[in-house]
Amino acid sequence: MGSLPESSLWPRRRASVVVPLVEPLRDRTVEPASAAQSEASIRVLVISDLLLGRAGLHHVLENAPGIVLVGEAGTSEEAIDIAGRERPDIVLIDLDLRADTFHCVEKIAVAAPESRMIALSDRTHAADHHVLIELGATGLVLKSERPEVLIKAIRKVHGGEVWLDRTITARVLGRIAQRRHVQDAEAGKIASLTRREHEIIALIGEGLKNGAVAERLCVSEATVRNHLTSILSKLDLSDRFELAVYAFRHGLVRYPDAQEPPTRG
């Protein structure tokens, strides 16, 4: 009859259960992260104009040990500003950004030259990937890859390596080989030009007509026309305007002081 009611025993039982659980949690939360751990973190900036895309990347990165998300940007302007201010170790940029992605990459390379860039793409256009590599990107990851592949790419690129998908690598190398082939072909054409033909190209680049070129070189206008016909044939060009553009593009002449290409005439 002298026993306590069940309701009187509950506070004691609850205290005996709660107290042991509170103390370990308190001890764990007061331990600050060491300076060495902070310094070892890889600081990442995410750039994507898709809110869901940024949210997904945020979730993946915040659960990866040793990686800290220092910023998210939805436009090129925001990305360039954050990159210049935060100087992240890694910049993840969505290749399908509606703004000028290449312009963004180029500007970030100037604003944060120490940052390494990894492009995220669901496309397989070798031309785009090739341009990104030329602009300084050191990693390319397809969006179809698993999250752990992206994390591994971030760690590898941060460590100084280049990360490319095998399919992307084959396409990029093929693109580079094709470009070299074209460059070699143009170099062969240019090498076939005579010294006199180079002189005529330089004068045409200054905007001179055939008569003025003839006066400058002390030859007849017919001679200039013959040389011009030979030049156009060797370079597979149609007219003097195409020749002027070709000459500037391949370094055969320099732009005038006004920094404007010659006009047709």
Reported as a pLDDT band with limits 50, 70 and 90, residue 227 is very high
| pLDDT value at residue 170 | 56
pLDDT score, position 175 = 59
What is the distance between the alpha carbons of residues 119 and 129, in angstroms, rounded to a whole number? Answer: 9
Judged by average pLDDT, the poorest of 11-15, 19-23, 46-50, 56-60 is 19-23
- Average pLDDT over the chain, rounded to whole? 76
pLDDT for the residue numbered 70 = 95
- Compute the average pLDDT of residues 133-156: 88
Give dist(CA 109, CA 130) in Å, integer. 16
Q: What is the mean pLDDT of residues 198-204?
A: 90
- The residues that bridge with 119 in the sheet, in sequence order, are 93, 140
Query: Cα(87)–Cα(180) distance, rounded to whole angstroms?
Result: 35
Q: Dihedral of CA 251/256/261/263: which sign?
A: negative
Contacts of 210 (CB under 8 A, 6+ apart): 221, 224, 225, 228
| Of the candidate ranges 36-40, 76-80, 158-162, the one whose mean pLDDT is the lowest | 36-40
For residues 55 and 46, give the distance between their C-alpha atoms in angstroms, rounded to a whole number: 10
The predicted-structure confidence for 147-198, as pLDDT tens digits, reads as follows 999 999 999 999 988 887 666 655 665 555 566 555 667 888 888 899 999 9
Please give the pLDDT value at position 97. Answer: 61
> What pLDDT score does 208 carry?
86
Q: Which of the given ranges, 174-188, 222-236, 240-254, has the highest pLDDT on average? A: 222-236
Here the tokens at position 142 are 């397809």
0.85 exceeded by pTM: no
| CA–CA separation, 239 and 85 (whole Å) | 50
User: Where do the domains of the chain lie, and which CATH numbers do they carry?
Assistant: 35-175 (3.40.50.2300), 192-249 (1.10.10.10)
